Structure 1
Amino acid sequence: MNHFNDTAPIATHPRARGVGLRMLGGSSERSWPPASAGRRTRADLLPLRFPRTILRGDGRISVFRSDRNGLGARHLGIGMSVSGAFIGVFLLARLIIDWDPARVPVLSILAWVILLATAVAVNIVACKLGCRLPLWLFLVSLGVCVIVVTLDLAGSWGVSGAGDFPTAAPAVGAFLLSIVTLRETGDITMAAVALGLVISAATLFKTRTDLLTLGPDILSIALAVAPPLVGASIVQAFRRMVQRELDLVLVQSTVSQPRFAVGMLASEQLARLDLDAETLLDDVAQGRTALPLAPSAAATAASLATQLRLHLIEGRTETWLHHAITESEFLGPVAALSDPAGLAGLLSPPQRDGLLLTIWLLMGDTARSGASISLRLGPIAPTYGALLHRKVRFSIELTTTGVSRRRVDPETWQAIRAVGPHVDSNRAGSLWVDIECSVDNPADA
């Protein structure tokens, strides 16, 4: 039998299923289902495009936002809830202390009962839903809070007008504080501002005989607005920090790549194509797909071969630094790279770590929205002397915009020194750094 005959069976081993199967799992990861006699169609065999948003951009953020109480946010939510409970206890104790036996504040008591019942119900439902607060539940709770504020203001000011102070209405701010980790910070901020405006308007139009009674009203407004606003700012800063750390961990995986290589997304797509090709070959070897191939199967095989050839020839001029910048959600919009010779790929692992950390720290240490950084590598400088004939020297020009030298963290300078000797200057209020790199000559490897 001719070993190169197309109709000859292909010898396979159960364990030799390739990189794709070992990386991506079993048959559930295939782009098409296993063959079944007379039931395979062209649509079943078309390769499934790899979802690029899984590893970058909005995809990674949406994964984090879908689990708001992961990565330490659960402890932050518990702290916010305890803080809100303390504020609520203080306001409830104030109602009890100011209780006038001659007149029972029925509306305020009713407002407190409704608020406490709502807080307990919302937290129970949120726990059953996996520590999430759906939009419909959030809107319902806001509607109940409107009723609570109306009843409390009517009971304390509208009916008697004798100088009673609201307690349940400011406690709505404590309720918002307890759910600040379950919703977007913008939702909590708008709700807190609306609450403050309503109580402020009621305070402004309140009839008072003594101006000194304005002090407790101001305290009520502060208790209603300040805690949820401060909590929202803390949660927003925490989420931003976690997102940046996740992005940094993802970007640091490019440091170990060879000089010229495809990026993380292309590597995952290549593994998927490898799995699809091996699945098709296994179907032919096991006799599930007859030879010669049907037109639909042949078209699928041709598509796989074309995509695999494209992966073999593309991206061979893109270094690890290019992928680190372009595939980073944080560095992509603010960093620009000019490296036509691919010199970044010659850097040693410590130099790569230092350069990436330098870029990250320079962009992370400033809060200005207009901050940016530009890197230019090369050209290669001549080397002289017997000790330098195995080295390649080139410069890295690092130019920033909106980054002042006095605001640079000392750890940044340590990272720059790991790349090579440098000279820094301050031009037009921004930092400029020229780094001289010396790396091993790849021709001597």
Structure 2
Amino acid sequence: MKRKTLYWLLSCLILVGLFPAGASAQTESESVIYGGGPFYSGGTATMNTLKQSGFTTVMLWTIHVHGNGDLYYNDQLVVSNGSYVGNSAWPGQLATLKQAPTSVKRLEISVGSWGVSDFQNIKNLIASQGTGTNSILYKNFVALKNATSADAVSFDNEDLYDVASSVSFGKMLSDLGFTITLCPYTNVSYWKSVKSQLGASVDRIYLQVYDGGAGNDPAYWNGQMGMTVMPGLDSKTSSGGNTPGQVASRMAGWKASAGITGGFIWYYDAILNNPSAGSAADYAAAINNALSSPSSGSLTTGGTAAASSTNSPAGEEKEKAFDGSSATKWLIFANSGWIQYQFGNNAAHAAASYSITSANDFPARDPKNWTLLGSNDGTNWTTLDTRSNESFSSRFQTKTYGLNNSTAFKYYRLNVTANNGGAELQIAEIGLYP
């Protein structure tokens, strides 16, 4: 039988889907979190939360352009007369977002929102001063870029659908080194024209699928815009919105119907105000898990699961570690144990590497020491890898380990102990990928 390269995936709570360079088993998704005041006033603590969240992009929502060209981050004046005048600590705090270890790869600035006159003010400023180096728009956005080191500016235009001024504004931003993203919820013709005229400067489209855009179909917008959109949902509030589970379900549906590879959550402030519905990390995992998928599917189907203990609660039995969903898990009330998978139809496969992703919300449940074993009869076992005193410093941290093994095995077993003091052990998902 032709030897196949497999990837062993073990998640203690939620599988994020991060793989080492060169691995082809997983396609990583893009997840975006919008946030307002807390991103400005929350300081280092908020930056650390974002870095550990699993979100790949942070969106500073939102910059307002006043009639005189002053730039406000919500109600805080940050740029005036070509100079940054905001909180002196903020630029340094933002700079840490992409410093390892972090899930954040990109920082964006959103301009506009509902019920404002930002794009009307932009149009007026362009009409009176243009977009050259002496214009206040140019000077102020240079200052904003220098202060934030943002990668992109996102157009959340909901007040004036004027193509000419939007394109002029976008070209100016592109000349400053910004990438442009669009965030529509209505008026397809306007957004099509802006995208067409800005061309390659536009690399993402964030489609609002909540409030006024609740009826939007990502597949339809894909066709209209000539680009696969990244739909967004609002987080759960007392009056509506979506739980992490609902986000995961809807994102998975759009992946099937529209081929999406990214999505966003609006917004961090509401998540803080309703912590019982889920954390920022829970929402990031909902997107990442729904959209990150093996290129050819898990091979852990049609086989048989076994475990050292049968004291799992209902709905958290050993089979849940092999059901293809990181929303479910195997849990035992013990500090140590084992779980294994037996391939059906006498099939044998070889493992080349495996990875462990930690939830870290209950550190005592995290794996501490483990051994990965292989067997062809379920009795005689070969040790494939042993790890001791492992630790996970952040939520959803993934650790990947290579195996120098060329033997094919029918059974794979993981002997594992929980972290110090842990009286419970849990695994969300174990998969083998070609």
- Scaled by the length of structure 1, the TM-score of the pair is 0.23
Q: Looking at both structures, which has the greater relative contact order when contacts are Cα pairs under 8 Å and sequence separation is at least 6? A: 2
Bigger fraction of residues in strand: 2
Structure with larger Rg:
1
Higher helix share: 1
